[in-house]
Amino acid sequence: MTASASRAAIAFDRVGMAYPGQAKGSALILADLSLTIPEGEFFVLVGPSGSGKSTLLKLVAGTAFPTEGTVTALSQPIKGPDRHRGMVFQSVDGPLFDWLTVQQNVGFGPKMAGAGKAEQAAIAARFIDMVGLKGHEKKFPAELSGGMKQRVQIARTLAADPKVVLLDEPFAALDALTRRVLQREIARIWQETGRTFLYVTHDIREAVLLGQRIGVMSRGPRANIRHVYEIDLPYPRDDLDGRFAEIVRKLEGDIEREASGQWAEI
């Protein structure tokens, strides 16, 4: 591992988070959460719904701020959203800019960074190709299927050249077949770009299919990450493989115990 690869892309240090408007310390969604994600890693966060996974992503995106502790990106405190931390949202329709073509959506980040028309188009073309949407450049989001829309979101996020890519259950709203295809592609895209990926899901199979490391969130309130698993399987992963099934089974057991509260006594 090179020196730069071991730098922390994201670091949570004893983070606590309360719903806005509530007193410090009371009703924390997240409490005393510490986690370090090195540069270039594919980290997956799994946990029961309502455990605060999405809140954690918002803290990294800079659209929410911790009540306690600090969140840093490359040792810099996060002051608000910027182009260094891109976000792929679960919502299929909400995040896309409906009045812009696929090409203009993907070129939005470069445009904000001051790139000229030709440069915007060139960058957009590269990432449209990467997500397999070549030939659909001039289409509007309304003309695309759900899976294609998520491809646009991924291309758009990458085109802004972020250091960290945050993915909030990006395929949860898609049909099972499309989801399977995109899960394989996102692993390939991560390898091609070499960026840090922080991926949130409640699907354990998806977590094992994608993550180098998997963090399991405990059930909220006062949610926390007590268990981090290293998944030592080569990419592309095969979910019919015996080792794969073994890991999924173990994780499922652990999460069930987590959900039933048995770990709370440890």
Partner 1 sequence: MGRNLTAGLSLASVAVFVLIWQAGAMWLNDPLFLPPPLDVVTGAVELWRDGTLWSSLLISLMRIMGGWLLGSAIAIPLGLWVGTSKAARAMVDPFIHFFRFVPAIALVTLFIVWFGVGEASKILLIAYATMFIVMVNTASGVGSIPQDKIDAALCLGANQRQAFTQIVVPASIPAIYVGMRLALASSFLVIVAAEMLAASSGLGYIIWTSRLYFRIDWMFAAIALLGALGFVTDRAWKAVGRGALRRYLRDTTKY
Q: Shortest distance, CB of residue 83 to partner 1, whole angstroms?
A: 3
CA distance 65 to 67: 7
Q: Between residues 140 and 263, which has the closer beta carbon with respect to partner 1?
A: 140
Choices 70-78, 157-165, 174-182, 236-244 (CB under 8 A): range interacting with partner 1 = 157-165
Choices 74-82, 170-178, 215-223, 246-254 (CB under 8 A): range interacting with partner 1 = 74-82
Choices 21-29, 89-97, 118-126, 208-216 (CB under 8 A): range interacting with partner 1 = 89-97
Q: Shortest distance, CB of residue 116 to partner 1, whole angstroms?
A: 16
Considering only residues 16, 47, 86, 211, which one is a binding residue for partner 1 as defined by CB under 8 A?
Answer: 86
Choices 70-78, 90-98, 190-198, 251-259 (CB under 8 A): range interacting with partner 1 = 90-98
Task: Name the β-bridge partners of 46.
Answer: 201, 216
Edge-to-edge strand list for the sheet holding 85-88: 85-88, 164-168, 196-201, 42-46, 213-217, 225-230
Q: 240: burial class by Cβ within 10 Å (0-12, 13-18, 19+)? A: exposed
| 80 sits near partner 1 (criterion: CB under 8 A) | yes
Considering only residues 97, 126, 238, 253, which one is a binding residue for partner 1 as defined by CB under 8 A?
Answer: 97
Tokens of 128: 């449209």
Considering only residues 19, 82, 235, 264, which one is a binding residue for partner 1 as defined by CB under 8 A?
Answer: 82
| 235 sits near partner 1 (criterion: CB under 8 A) | no
Q: Shortest distance, CB of residue 201 to partner 1, whole angstroms?
A: 18
Report whether 170 contacts 90 (CB < 8 A). Answer: yes
- Count of C-beta atoms within a 10 Å radius of residue 34: 12
CA distance 27 to 34: 18
| 157 sits near partner 1 (criterion: CB under 8 A) | yes
| 179 sits near partner 1 (criterion: CB under 8 A) | no
| 145 sits near partner 1 (criterion: CB under 8 A) | no
CA distance 241 to 246: 9
**Coil, helix or strand at residue 86:** strand
Calculated CA dihedral for residues 82, 45, 126, 80, nearest 10 degrees: 0
Site residues (vs partner 1, CB under 8 A): 61-63, 80-83, 85-87, 89, 91, 93-100, 108-109, 112-113, 140, 142, 153, 156-157, 160, 162
